[in-house]
């Protein structure tokens, strides 16, 4: 069995994954619980602690460790992750100190999630497809003729940083008007909390109940409508360029599908911005939700 690790914007998930993509053991750790100085140090420490316990106390045998991390990843190093504040984080080297015989591969988290959806999930029946992860930021990947498109220079497909608003909100990457400043779930949640006067520290489940209970109020309706319009601008841009058969939505958006999905599909299907209006791509929801990154990172060895 292989180890799959997903480093998200808010938590680290470590999973033991079998050859059919089932997570047979899972441990999670929230990054906000960090007590050491740097996020990089915390992430490496937590991963090593979990894996050491699994190996020594539970006698779990593994030789391959796949890691999905947000941002730019090159040669198994996180070059930069704007949302976690990571720079030149040599994560493979750090883990290797404790597991010298293990093979370790690191890739962008959205690419890992996309691999899982393509092999076993919502994208398995399609050749040309897009995976769009709406979470803390926005990440993604694209497949053409069934293969992940992998440019030479870097992983690319930074859908979250395409500009959708001239002189728009400042993004963590330094640009203004990036897609993720309007279409990420983090932004949706922070805008709705601010407009409804909700405490910032409220958890996701509570926030969803408040939204559901107030779904007919103007503030909720208007915020959802505005959010959907922005998500659609990005979607239509992607579709006009890549013309996929299907777009799979993952990340935290999955938990809001009863609130947001139908409205998004309606807006998208009726969008006047689609260049090719026949045979409009389908929108589907990620099969593995937040587990996709863990499962997909084990596919980096295939």
* Footprint on this chain of Zn ion (rule: CB under 5 A): 161, 171, 173, 175, 178
The distance of closest approach from Cβ of residue 9 to Zn ion in the complex, given in angstroms and rounded to an integer, is: 14
CB under 8 A, 24+ apart: contacts of 239-243 = 239/130, 239/274, 239/280, 239/281, 240/273, 240/274, 240/275, 240/276, 242/128, 242/130, 242/142, 242/144, 243/128, 243/276, 243/281
Minimum distance between the CB of residue 137 and Zn ion, rounded to whole angstroms? 8
Kindly give, in sequence order, each residue whose CB lies less than 8 Å from that of residue 302, ignoring residues fewer than 6 positions away: none
Instruction: Tell me the closest approach of the beta carbon of residue 234 to Zn ion, in angstroms.
Output: 12
Nearer Cβ to Zn ion (16/238): 238
DSSP 90-129: -HHHHHHTT-TTSEEEEEEHHHHHHHHHHHHSTTTT-SSE
* Shortest Cβ 82–Zn ion spacing (Å): 7
Taking the complex as a whole, how short is the minimal distance between the CB of residue 273 and Zn ion, in angstroms?
21
Task: Give the nearer residue to Zn ion in terms of CB position, either 111 or 118.
Answer: 111
Whichever of 174 and 205 has its CB closer to Zn ion, that residue is: 174
**Residue 36 neighbours by CB under 8 Å, 6+ apart:** 42, 45
Nearer to Zn ion, 59 or 153 (CB): 153
Q: For Zn ion, which is the closer residue by CB, 76 or 108? A: 108
Shortest distance (Å) from residue 174 CB to Zn ion: 7
The span from the CA of 302 to the CA of 299, in Å, is 5
Nearer to Zn ion, 54 or 230 (CB): 230
Q: Are 64 and 298 in contact (CB under 8 A)?
A: yes
């Amino acid at each position: 069995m292989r180890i799959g690790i997903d480093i998200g914007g808010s938590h680290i998930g470590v999973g033991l994954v079998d050859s059919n993509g089932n997570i047979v053991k899972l441990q999670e750790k929230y990054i906000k619980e960090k007590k050491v100085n740097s996020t990089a140090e915390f992430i490496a420490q937590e991963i090593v602690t979990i894996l050491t316990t699994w190996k020594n106390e539970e006698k779990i045998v593994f030789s391959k460790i796949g890691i999905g991390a947000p941002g730019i990843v090159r040669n198994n190093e996180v070059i930069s992750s704007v949302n976690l504040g990571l720079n030149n984080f040599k994560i493979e080297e750090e883990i290797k100190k404790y597991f010298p015989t293990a093979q370790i591969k690191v890739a962008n988290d959205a690419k890992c999630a996309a691999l899982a959806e393509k092999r076993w999930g919502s994208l398995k029946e399609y050749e040309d497809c897009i995976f769009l992860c709406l979470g803390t930021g926005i990440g993604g990947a694209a497949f053409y003729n069934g293969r992940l498109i992998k440019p030479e220079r870097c992983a690319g497909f930074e859908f979250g940083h395409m500009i959708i608003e001239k002189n728009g909100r400042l993004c963590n990457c330094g640009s203004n008007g990036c897609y993720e400043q309007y279409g990420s779930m983090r932004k949706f949640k922070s805008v709705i909390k601010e407009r409804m006067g909700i405490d910032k520290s409220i958890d996701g489940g509570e926030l969803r109940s408040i939204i559901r209970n107030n779904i007919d109020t103007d503030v909720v309706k208007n915020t959802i409508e505005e959010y959907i319009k922005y998500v659609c601008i990005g979607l239509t841009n992607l579709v006009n360029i890549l013309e996929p058969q299907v777009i799979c939505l993952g990340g935290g958006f999955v938990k809001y599908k009863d609130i947001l999905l139908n409205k998004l599909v309606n807006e998208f299907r009726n969008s006047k911005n689609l260049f090719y209006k026949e045979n409009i791509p389908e929108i589907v929801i990620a099969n593995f939700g937040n587990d996709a990154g863990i499962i997909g990172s084990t596919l980096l060895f295939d």
